[in-house]
């Protein structure tokens, strides 16, 4: 609530300064440089407005065409392998999802070059800097 009030006050203040500066600019005589600047600024504003309108229309069209998910999935299945083919080993996947810190160990079985398993373990706190677990 306080942040919204602060943003509103800041927006009113900035728009007031903007309006005051335009008042100062309007008081000056119009030269060729002023006309070029107004055309450039007007063109940029027009292009940005058209692009923003197109982008909103594009997103609305995508939203209408796609089927919206109105509720969460019942249960997301835990992956069995990573993209390199290593198997995941975890004691409790639900606890792992909600853990603040997770330690991952790569375990090599046999003479393989690449580790075969990823073992996930929940830890309570992060180790201090310089202390490797």
For the chain, the average pLDDT equals 82
Identify whether the C-beta of residue 102 lies closer than 8 Å to the C-beta of residue 120: yes
Per-residue pLDDT of 76-120, as tens digits, reads 666 777 777 777 777 777 787 778 888 888 887 776 666 678 888
85: left (phi over 0), alpha (psi -120 to 50) or beta: left
- What pLDDT, on a 0 to 100 scale, did the predictor assign at position 124? 75
Identify whether the C-beta of residue 115 lies closer than 8 Å to the C-beta of residue 107: yes
CA distances from 42 to 26, 32, 39, 47, 66 (A): 16, 15, 5, 9, 36
Q: Do β-strands 117-123 and 101-107 pair in parallel, antiparallel, or remain unpaired?
A: antiparallel
Residues in the chain: 133
**pLDDT at 67 > cutoff 80:** no
Bigger pLDDT: 2 vs 13: 13
Identify whether the C-beta of residue 101 lies closer than 8 Å to the C-beta of residue 123: yes
**pLDDT at 56 > cutoff 90:** yes
């Amino acid at each position: 609530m306080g942040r919204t009030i602060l943003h509103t006050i800041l927006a009113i203040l900035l728009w007031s300064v903007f309006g005051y500066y335009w008042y100062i600019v309007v008081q000056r005589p119009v030269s060729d440089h002023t006309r070029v600047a107004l055309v450039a600024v007007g063109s940029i504003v027009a292009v940005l407005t058209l692009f923003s309108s197109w982008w909103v229309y594009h997103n609305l069209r995508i939203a209408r065409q796609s089927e919206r998910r109105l509720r969460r999935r019942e249960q997301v299945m835990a992956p069995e392998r990573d993209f390199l083919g290593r198997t995941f080993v975890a004691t409790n996947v639900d606890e792992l999802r909600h853990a603040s810190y997770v330690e991952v160990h790569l375990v090599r079985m046999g003479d393989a070059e690449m580790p075969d398993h990823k073992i996930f373990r929940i830890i309570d706190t992060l180790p201090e800097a310089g202390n490797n677990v």
